[in-house]
Chains A and B, each alone.
Chain A
């Protein structure tokens, strides 16, 4: 039984992830100016980390699944 590989999802999440990274690196100066200000601006890096972990996390997850690298299939023993 072969499950369908999530190639579409991988490409979409990959594209969003790359876009986020390009944006972060292209706008470095603005990012450095605001994100390093401290106090309430601290939420900027924290929020960024959550957004990246969601987008890039699902991309990398789908990426390995698409390559066929998956967890061992076993019946849950309860």
Chain B
């Protein structure tokens, strides 16, 4: 605890370059999370640490920008009728428990295996979860694209139909996004897993959104919007916990927020122009690219733990920089797809309005 307090006193000096960097990354991260429900944290936390912000302060400050961002994003998307508040709150509370448990596991690993052990655990979690879920989401999006049914309404998966058919008296809740009654005994573990992932890799949405789509049967647009409610509940609880230990650097959090609120509004508007499967495309792509980025770091941590032969310092540096560049690339590609899809959608809308007006005159 003493160390934590000592770290917290060392809030860094901010210069113009740092402020601009945080603002821009905040904007891009916000744009992506307005669209798919989460994202940005995996770049922001290491980004702040490279400025000299202590790890825990970076995590805490990132969380303190996440909950107000998620609040603004979910209010915006609720206006479009995409948010299931009940599902978000129920999953958010169970995610909170997952965060606490995930943090507890992290502490245990750090104690037993040190920093390298904890880094290896985080990277392996990244690679395994993103490989399974990311590939699945991408393949699903590809199948929808190939089938030519991109305009068709999304159908619930077999698993979701089974989940909806189970009736456990006393635990059934009606969710508007699913348009069915589902037992909370299904939503609680999913929320818990979302929270555990958030505590481990900072982006719970990579489990939260696909689980709402594929396990519960929620449409992609509603799942990604509801994730923002989960992120708000989880982020508020987490921020309070970190702030209680004096770890939140509010200046960092608010500067990131300055950019990310511009982004999240735009990302949320973007969802009204695209076909639902685009949510899966962007999410799947980001997940798979980030997976490669973290995969590069696995040998570094393994060599630090003595599990494989030592790697030279030059190679370590190269791997680190490449890994970070790929992560930024993942976010940039996500943002590009969102903006492009939005641009196209707006152009089509304008054209159809023009056509309608033209016909009216004849």
**B249/A64 in contact, CB under 8 A:** no
**A53/B273 in contact, CB under 8 A:** no
**B262/A63 in contact, CB under 8 A:** yes
8 Å CB contacts to A: which residues of B263-277?
A: 265-266, 268-269, 272-273
Contact of B253 among A44, A49, A59 (CB under 8 A): A49
Q: Say how far B75's CB is from chain A's closest CB, in angstroms.
A: 8
**B269/A53 in contact, CB under 8 A:** no
- Cα separation A46 to B66 with both chains bound (whole Å): 12
- Cα separation A52 to B72 with both chains bound (whole Å): 11
**B80/A36 in contact, CB under 8 A:** no
Contact of A64 among B68, B253, B258, B265 (CB under 8 A): B265
Residues of B within 8 A of A38 (CB): 5, 8, 243-247
**A72/B273 in contact, CB under 8 A:** yes
- For A31, A41, A48, the residue with the greatest tally of chain B CB atoms inside 10 Å of its CB is A48
CB-CB under 8 A for A21 and B243, given A52-B68, A71-B80: no
Residues of B within 8 A of A44 (CB): 243, 250
8 Å CB contacts to A: which residues of B86-124?
A: none
CB-CB under 8 A for A52 and B243, given A32-B11, A60-B261: no
Residues of B within 8 A of A53 (CB): 68-69, 71-72, 257, 261
Residues of A within 8 A of B250 (CB): 24, 31, 35, 44-45, 48-49
Interface residues of A toward B: which range? 35 or more
> Can you list, as one digit per residue, whether each of A35-78 has a CB less than 8 Å from chain B (1) or not (0)?
11111011111101110110011011101100001111110100
**B236/A46 in contact, CB under 8 A:** yes
Residues of B within 8 A of A57 (CB): 68, 71-72, 75, 261, 265
Residues of B within 8 A of A71 (CB): 79-80, 268-269, 272-273
Residues of A within 8 A of B251 (CB): 24-25, 28, 31-32
* Interface size counted on chain B using CB atoms at 8 A: 44
Residues of A within 8 A of B244 (CB): 38-39, 42
CB-CB under 8 A for A37 and B246, given A32-B11, A49-B68, A64-B269: yes
Residues of B within 8 A of A41 (CB): 243, 246
Residues of A within 8 A of B8 (CB): 36, 38
Q: How many pairs, one residue from A and one from B, have CB atoms within 8 Å of each other in the complex? A: 116
Q: Which residue of B lies closest to A52 (CB)?
A: B254
Residues of A within 8 A of B246 (CB): 36-38, 41-42
Residues of A within 8 A of B349 (CB): 72-73
- Cα separation A21 to B19 with both chains bound (whole Å): 12
Q: Say how far B95's CB is from chain A's closest CB, in angstroms.
A: 18
Question: B14 near A: Cβ within 8 Å?
Answer: yes
> Can you list, as one digit per residue, whether each of B51-86 has a CB less than 8 Å from chain A (1) or not (0)?
000000000000011011101100110011100000
**B binding-site residues for A, Cβ under 8 Å:** 5, 8-9, 11, 14, 64-65, 67-69, 71-72, 75-76, 79-81, 236, 239-240, 243-251, 253-254, 257-258, 261-262, 265-266, 268-269, 272-273, 345-346, 349
**A binding-site residues for B, Cβ under 8 Å:** 21, 24-25, 28, 31-32, 35-39, 41-46, 48-50, 52-53, 56-57, 59-61, 63-64, 69-74, 76
A-B contacts, 28 of them at CB < 8 A, read: A25-B251, A28-B251, A31-B251, A32-B249, A35-B243, A36-B9, A38-B244, A38-B247, A42-B240, A42-B244, A45-B243, A49-B67, A49-B253, A49-B257, A50-B68, A53-B68, A53-B69, A53-B71, A53-B72, A53-B257, A56-B258, A63-B265, A64-B266, A69-B269, A71-B80, A71-B272, A71-B273, A76-B81
